Amino acid sequence: MISVGIIGGTGYTGKFLIQFCNQHQNIAEMHIYANTTAGQNLHDVLPELSGIVSDLEIKSVENLSYDHDLYFVTLPHGKSLDVVPQLVESGKKVIDLGGDFRLDQAELYDKWYGLNHTNSDLLSKKHYGLADVYNAYGQELIANPGCYPTAALLSTLPLTKNAGDNIASINISSYSGASGAGKSLKQHLLLSELYSNVQAYNVGTHRHQPEISQEMNKSGFDGAFTFVTHLLPISTGIYSTAIIQLKEKLHADDVNQFYSVAYASKEFVRLRDVPPQLKWAVGTNFCDLNVVVNENSVIVTSAIDNLIKGASGQAVQNMNQMFGWNESMGLLTGGEMKTESMEVV
The only residue of 76, 164, 220, 283 in contact with its own copies, by rule CB under 8 A: 283
Pick one of 40, 166, 219, 245: the residue that binds its own copies (CB under 8 A).
245
Question: Closest CB to its own copies among 140 and 280?
Answer: 280
Q: Any residues with CB less than 8 A from the CB of 258 and at least 6 apart, and which?
A: 158, 159, 161, 162, 163
Question: Which CB sits closer to its own copies, 96 or 288?
Answer: 288
Instruction: Return the closest-CA partner of residue 211 out of 119, 138, 144.
Output: 144
Assess 312 for contact with its own copies (CB under 8 A): no
Is 1 an interacting residue with respect to its own copies (CB under 8 A)?
A: yes
Least Å distance between CB 146 and its own copies?
18
One residue of 156, 284, 314, 318 binding its own copies per CB under 8 A: 284
Distance separating alpha carbons of residues 112 and 207, to the nearest angstrom: 6
Interface residue with its own copies, options 196, 248, 251, 264 (CB under 8 A): 196
Which of 149-157, 179-187, 211-219, 248-256 is the region at the interface with its own copies (rule: CB under 8 A)?
179-187
Residues whose CB is less than 8 angstroms from the CB of residue 332 and which lie 6 or more positions away in sequence, other chains included: 267, 285
Is 152 a residue that touches its own copies (CB under 8 A)?
Answer: no
Residue 110 Cβ vs its own copies, minimum distance, rounded to whole Å? 20
Cβ atoms within 10 Å, residue 299: 16
Q: Does 36 bind its own copies (CB under 8 A)?
A: no
Q: By CB under 8 A, which span of 70-78, 107-115, 262-270, 317-325 interacts with its own copies?
A: 262-270
Answer positive or negative: Cα dihedral of 173, 177, 179, 183: positive
Torsion region of 281: left, alpha or beta (phi above 0 gives left; psi -120 to 50 gives alpha): alpha
Residue 158 near residue 172, CB atoms below 8 Å: no
Q: Does 177 bind its own copies (CB under 8 A)?
A: yes
Contact call for residue 108 and its own copies (CB under 8 A): no
Task: Find out whether 81 and 123 touch, Cβ atoms under 8 Å.
Answer: no
Query: How many residues of this chain interact with its own copies, rule: CB under 8 A?
Result: 95
Residue 18 vs 61, nearer CB to its own copies: 18
CB 315 within 8 A of CB 144: yes
CB of 45 to its own copies, least distance (A): 11
189 lies in the site for its own copies, by CB under 8 A: yes
Task: Identify the burial level of 90 via C-beta atoms within 10 angstroms of its C-beta, where 0-12 means exposed, 13-18 middle and 19 or more buried.
Answer: exposed
Instruction: Rank residues 94 and 331 by Cβ distance to its own copies and give the closer one.
Output: 331
Catalytic residue among 97, 147, 282, 319: 147
184: exposed, middle or buried (Cβ count in 10 Å: 0-12, 13-18, 19+): exposed
Min dist. Cβ of residue 75 to its own copies (A): 19
- What's the closest the beta carbon of residue 182 comes to its own copies, in angstroms? 8
Please name which of 90, 59, 57, 71 lies closest in space to residue 21, comparing C-alpha atoms.
Answer: 71
Q: Which of 3, 119, 135, 171 binds its own copies (CB under 8 A)?
A: 171
Q: According to the binding rule CB under 8 A, does residue 197 interact with its own copies?
A: yes
Q: H or E stretch including 17?
A: helix 12-22
Which stretch of DSSP H or E encloses residue 93?
strand 93-96
Angular region, 109: left φ>0, alpha ψ -120 to 50, beta rest: alpha
Active site residue 21: no
User: Does 193 sit near its own copies (CB under 8 A)?
Assistant: yes
Q: Which of 4, 42, 53, 154 binds its own copies (CB under 8 A)?
A: 53
Active site residues: 147
